């Protein structure tokens, strides 16, 4: 499993065609979801598959289609940059793994609590000391702001491109572009994410 994750991860950052890179990234994310399943965190694995493999990779592939020809080769990185970055990465990895090997991790408790969706939901929405209601609300505001920001950014580009400063024209374009294709593609994973969080609350 870990060989699968690491191999597809390496292929995702080294292959020269960007579409293949996105597909390798998809396999790597699915492998990580398998790792969560193996650690008996089924809810996190499901969220990983839904949000990453179903949402983020899909919008990445959409944006690749919108911006580039999928079969085109990317610009090769400079040789010296490749050498230096691999050296830096290898030395950083060696240092970190040395630290991990020296440390001894002690389990604080051996009693395994149950990681069920009901427990997750009740702790996420509780207002007591260990509740997560405040980050939950903050994240919901962040998602709303991100959604509005995406729509504004993706639809205001017509006024940038056309050199006219005709306000009426800009406003018409704004109204016309309120439902472009990419706004749908952008909105979809956000809403789904909220509904996932909401579902965990409903099981109270």
Q: For residues 11-30, which are near other proteins according to CB under 8 A?
A: 12-14, 18, 21-22, 25, 28-29
Is position 154 an interface residue for other proteins (rule: CB under 8 A)?
A: yes
Is position 70 an interface residue for other proteins (rule: CB under 8 A)?
A: no
CB of 20 to other proteins, least distance (A): 11
d(CA 164, CA 170): 9
Is position 98 an interface residue for other proteins (rule: CB under 8 A)?
A: no
Taking CB under 8 A as the criterion, the residue among 37, 46, 63, 177 binding other proteins is: 63
Question: How many residues belong to the site for other proteins (CB under 8 A)?
Answer: 87
Element (H, E) at 144: helix 133-155
Q: Measured from the CB atom, is 142 or 171 closer to other proteins?
A: 142
Q: Which residues contact 192 (CB under 8 A, 6 or more apart)?
A: 50, 51, 54, 55
Q: Which residues contact 55 (CB under 8 A, 6 or more apart)?
A: 188, 189, 192, 193
d(CA 156, CA 69): 24
Query: Which residues from 163-192 bind other proteins, rule CB under 8 A?
Result: 182, 186, 189-190
Q: Measured from the CB atom, is 9 or 170 closer to other proteins?
A: 9
Is position 161 an interface residue for other proteins (rule: CB under 8 A)?
A: yes
Q: Measured from the CB atom, is 68 or 202 closer to other proteins?
A: 68
Cβ-contact 44, 196 below 8 angstroms: no
Taking CB under 8 A as the criterion, the residue among 20, 34, 120, 133 binding other proteins is: 120
Q: Measured from the CB atom, is 2 or 175 closer to other proteins?
A: 2
CB of 197 to other proteins, least distance (A): 7
Is position 82 an interface residue for other proteins (rule: CB under 8 A)?
A: yes
Burial environment of residue 158 by CB neighbours within 10 A (0 to 12, 13 to 18, 19 or more): middle
What one-character-per-residue DSSP string does 75-94 give? PPPPHHHHHHHHHHHHHHHH
């Amino acid at each position: 499993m870990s060989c699968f994750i690491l191999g597809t991860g390496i292929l995702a950052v080294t292959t020269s065609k960007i579409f293949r890179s996105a597909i390798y990234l998809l396999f790597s994310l699915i492998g990580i979801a398998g790792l969560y399943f193996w650690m008996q965190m089924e809810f996190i694995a499901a969220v990983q598959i839904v949000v990453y493999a179903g949402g983020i990779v899909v919008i990445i592939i959409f944006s690749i289609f919108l911006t580039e020809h999928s079969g085109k080769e990317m610009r090769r990185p400079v040789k010296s940059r490749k050498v230096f970055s691999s050296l830096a990465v290898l030395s950083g990895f060696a240092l970190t793994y040395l630290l991990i090997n020296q440390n001894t991790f002690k389990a604080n408790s051996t009693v395994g609590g149950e990681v069920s969706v009901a427990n997750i939901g009740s702790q996420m929405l509780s207002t007591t000391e260990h509740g997560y209601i405040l980050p939950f609300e903050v994240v919901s505001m962040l998602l709303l702001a991100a959604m509005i920001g995406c729509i504004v950014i993706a639809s205001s580009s017509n006024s940038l491109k056309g050199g006219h400063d005709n306000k009426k024209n800009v406003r018409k374009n704004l109204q016309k572009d309120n439902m472009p294709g990419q706004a749908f593609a952008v909105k979809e994973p956000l809403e789904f994410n909220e509904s996932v969080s909401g579902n965990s609350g409903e099981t109270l």
